Amino acid sequence: MHIVIDIGNTQIKTGIFDGDELIHRESFPSTALNDSLKKLCLKYEVDKGILSHVSRLESKEIQGISNHLEVILLDKNTKVPFENLYSTPETLGVDRIALAAAAATKYKGKPVLVIDAGTCITFDYVNGNQQYEGGSISPGITMRYKAVHSFTANLPLLTPENEIPALGNSTSNAINKGILSGVIYEIEGVIAEYRSKNANLTVVLTGGDANFLSNNIKSTIFATPNFLLDGLNSILIHNLAE
């Protein structure tokens, strides 16, 4: 058994894998990092893992994790199961590296567009030769609500709705309509752009807003909530095989 660990700004997501099969997923606050990992490693007899973190992680925290298991820290120098054609690989986020790895291994030989709808919405493209070419980054849904409120004098701070209003017949409805429809149109447009060049394109949608988006996007997509964890696991397996 081995473990993959994705450390965000406030939450930690973990997955226990038996080979390439995810058998347990668990999230917990970043303040519970070492205690929770110790319990998981003991329960599932884990001895190897991989760690991805987008926030700053102190050396003492890394040392604490290393006390529980042999761990790979994912960074720009980690060996990955795809060819990275990004012109500035040192600036490529570890989350995007993991998503590209999942695309390259789960859809080997096929062009894949991965859409990660979280704090930001990222679009990452892996071609049929398992080469990562890049993509784009735009503000996520919650960030757009905050921007509308922060950069205007009179518009309220709203939370995302589960349904898109048919018409913006009030200020609240106008904001919801504009932001939510805008995100849908953007994603549909990016998918159409890539599909115009790759008729057999596979589109994967993941991230915190994936459920809402999957119910509103008309294009054929695969909504896969554990795609990043799968990618981390594929990188770990790739390195263990070396």
pLDDT in tens, 220-239: 899 999 999 999 999 999 99
Cα–Cα distance list, 93 to 56, 127, 144 (Å):
13, 19, 21
Contacts of 209 (CB under 8 A, 6+ apart): 117, 118, 140, 141, 160
Q: Which of 20, 75, 95, 209 is catalytic?
A: 95
pLDDT-wise least confident of 68-77, 86-95, 99-108: 68-77
Task: Report pTM.
Answer: 0.93
Q: Assign domain 75-242 to its CATH architecture.
A: 2-Layer Sandwich (3.30)
**Six token digits for residue 142:** 């919650």
pLDDT in tens, 114-164: 999 999 999 999 999 999 999 999 999 999 999 999 999 999 999 998 899
**What is 1-73's CATH topology?**
Nucleotidyltransferase; domain 5 (3.30.420)
pLDDT in tens, 21-57: 999 999 988 777 778 888 998 899 998 999 998 666 6
Which value, in Å, is the radius of gyration of the alpha carbons in the chain?
19
Catalytic residue check, 95: yes
